[in-house]
Amino acid sequence: MASQKNTQIIRWTVILSSFIIVALILWNTYDFFQKFKHEERSKMEILAKAYERFSSAGLNTDISLEAKIIGNNHNIPMIITNEKDSITEWSNLDSLKIKKKNYLEKQLFLMKSQNNPIKISYKGEDLKQYIYYRNSDLLTKLKYYPVALILILFLFASVIYLFFKSNKVAEQNKLWTGMAKETAHQIGTPLSSLLGWIEILRLENTNENIIKEIENDVTRLNTIAERFSKIGSIPELNEQNLVEATSTSFDYLKLRSSKQVIFKFESVKEAIYAKINLQLFSWVIENLVKNAIDAMEGKGKIALAITENEKNVTITIADNGKGIPKHLQHEIFTPGFTTKKRGWGLGLSLAKRIIEDYHNGKITVLKSELGKGTTFAITLKK
């Protein structure tokens, strides 16, 4: 419990720290952007003053500084217009596009949208001009810098998250595999003894029907042990009749269930073939049917239907039990999750692993309504 609490604290600390880092990056970039923008504005205002002084200077006035200021503007695109908004001069625009129709007008429109104009007033003349300019290429790139940085941070965080998640899943898989194999081992030991006791009962002339039923149950236990032992290893898939395999498991549970449970089995064909591991596939069917019986609390109807198309076979198992709440439907395949008072909560997670990892199929909750029942669907490739 303490370990889980510490994990939650660490998780929220990392999330909060990430938000703070992103906020600081955005704020610092915005602040730098505004300062840089203000600096460019100051340069253009100085340029406007240089134009004013250059135009009004006398013959003997030294205008070398003004000329240098005007000539040194190499990076800020600008357009000068007269009072009628006609373009009279431009600088630092794409020389290859200047001749294109409406290029200058479009640039002027862009400049008007980015910055307010700077007025040039000429002394002694009733003449005014306006400098329009847009952000330099450097400032434009800086504008997208936070987006690029946040994207990099997001990708980096995603890689870390996926790494830790895959490690966690691997650890869980290792744990469930170990538990399954240990269970198989523990079941196997008394099974050997039971086989010996069956032979002793035969020697003592015990009723053969009783011995046969015991043998059936021992065989069943042996099948269960073999299923557990296959978890974690790559199972062998063989071409099998799905209708026969499914009906065998369905009928087995039908014979051992309450008479108040109505079992209905339907298939579009008597034989539909697909590559499966018979023992593991049967386990999945039995698990879903048992869950349906539990959901109905021993009274209701279970309908199993098998359909096919050109590529896939679909098996649906529907009950009219209590149903699964919507907020829990995405959690039911999580290892350890259970709504029952007893059980490990491994049945559906193992069923999902068997169908999706071993058989390359799909198992889903097709639909579920509280008080009306649940329908599971298994899809396998032919």
Are 229 and 240 in the same domain? no
Residue with tokens 């600008």: 78
282 within 8 A of 245, measured Cβ to Cβ: yes
Which amino acid would we find at residue 232?
G
Say if 148 falls within a structural domain: no
Say if 156 falls within a structural domain: no
Are 215 and 257 in the same domain? no
SS3 94: coil
Structure confidence at residue 196 (pLDDT): 80
Closest by CA to 227, choosing from 282, 300, 271, is 282
Structure confidence at residue 122 (pLDDT): 75
Which residues sit opposite 264 in a β-bridge? 303
Structure confidence at residue 238 (pLDDT): 92
Domain boundary residue among 119, 135, 151?
135
Say if 243 falls within a structural domain: yes
Are 246 and 223 in the same domain? no
303 within 8 A of 247, measured Cβ to Cβ: no
pLDDT in tens, the chain (382 residues): 455 566 677 777 877 887 788 788 778 888 888 888 888 888 888 888 888 777 766 666 667 777 787 777 778 889 899 888 888 888 888 888 888 888 898 999 989 988 899 888 877 667 788 999 988 888 878 778 777 877 887 887 788 778 877 777 777 667 767 776 777 767 776 777 787 888 888 878 778 888 888 888 888 788 777 777 766 667 789 999 999 999 999 998 898 888 899 999 999 899 999 999 998 899 899 999 999 998 888 789 999 999 999 899 999 999 999 998 888 888 888 776 676 666 556 688 888 988 998 899 999 999 999 889 999 999 999 8
Distance CA 356, CA 230 (A): 15
Structure confidence at residue 258 (pLDDT): 86
Structure confidence at residue 240 (pLDDT): 94
Distance CA 297, CA 137 (A): 72
Are 176 and 258 in the same domain? no
Say if 334 falls within a structural domain: yes
Say if 224 falls within a structural domain: yes
Distance CA 67, CA 62 (A): 10
Say if 152 falls within a structural domain: no
Instruction: Kindly report the backbone phi and psi dihedral angles of residue 208, in degrees, each rounded to the nearest multiple of 5, phi listed first.
Output: -65, -35
Structure confidence at residue 374 (pLDDT): 94
Are 103 and 217 in the same domain? no
Domain that holds residue 178: 162-233
Are 71 and 104 in the same domain? yes
Say if 150 falls within a structural domain: no
Number of domains in the chain: 3
Structure confidence at residue 217 (pLDDT): 80
Closest by CA to 43, choosing from 107, 138, 125, is 138
Structure confidence at residue 376 (pLDDT): 96
Are 361 and 247 in the same domain? yes
What CATH number did the domain enclosing 288 receive?
Answer: 3.30.565.10
Closest by CA to 178, choosing from 235, 228, 225, 236, is 228
Are 363 and 247 in the same domain? yes
Say if 144 falls within a structural domain: no
Are 101 and 129 in the same domain? yes
Are 287 and 374 in the same domain? yes
Instruction: Kindly report the backbone phi and psi dihedral angles of residue 75, in degrees, each rounded to the nearest multiple of 5, phi listed first.
Output: -125, -10
Are 300 and 218 in the same domain? no
Domain boundary residue among 233, 250, 278?
233
Domain boundary residue among 233, 253, 279?
233
Are 187 and 227 in the same domain? yes
